[in-house]
């Protein structure tokens, strides 16, 4: 019984460490993509920013595209939520000016990146 508890505790710790590393890679990638742009960013720079080796990144992501897509998925989902709310406002004729619609669209895009 104690052996099972010990192994379970080790598995939980490893999972926590893996999740932390995954998040640190995403954070580093976000900084590198933001400062260099997608096309100029390299996996070497992302690895350096995350303080890990490049092969470690490839244990989590198949390619730079895969990493970028993982980073952008929550952003796109958030944009979708904002657009759905705008669509609802349009369908229910809640907008009284085009400038308000445009303002809401830009606010939605901006807040999605925060």
CATH number for the domain spanning 27: value is: 1.10.10.60
Q: What is the mean pLDDT of the chain?
A: 91
SS3 at position 38: coil
Distance CA 2, CA 47 (A): 38
Domain hosting residue 79, numbered range = 64-114
Q: What is the DSSP string of 11-34?
A: HHHHHHHHHHHHHHHHHHHHHHHH
Q: Are 79 and 92 in a shared domain?
A: yes
Q: Are 56 and 2 in a shared domain?
A: yes
What does pTM read for this prediction?
0.76
pLDDT at 92: 87
Query: pLDDT digit string (tens) for 4-54?
Result: 888 888 899 989 999 999 999 999 999 999 999 999 999 999 999 999 999
Distance CA 17, CA 22 (A): 9
């Amino acid at each position: 019984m104690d052996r099972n508890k010990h192994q379970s505790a080790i598995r939980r710790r490893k999972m926590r460490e893996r999740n932390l590393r995954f998040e640190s890679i995403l954070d580093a990638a976000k900084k590198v993509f933001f400062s260099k742009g997608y096309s100029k960013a390299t996996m070497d720079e992302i690895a350096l920013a995350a303080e890990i080796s490049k092969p470690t990144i490839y244990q989590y992501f198949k390619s730079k595209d895969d990493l970028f897509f993982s980073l952008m998925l929550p952003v796109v989902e958030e944009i979708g939520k904002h657009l759905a709310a705008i669509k609802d406002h349009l369908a229910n004729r809640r907008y009284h000016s085009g400038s308000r619609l445009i303002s809401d669209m830009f606010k939605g895009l901006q807040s999605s990146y925060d």
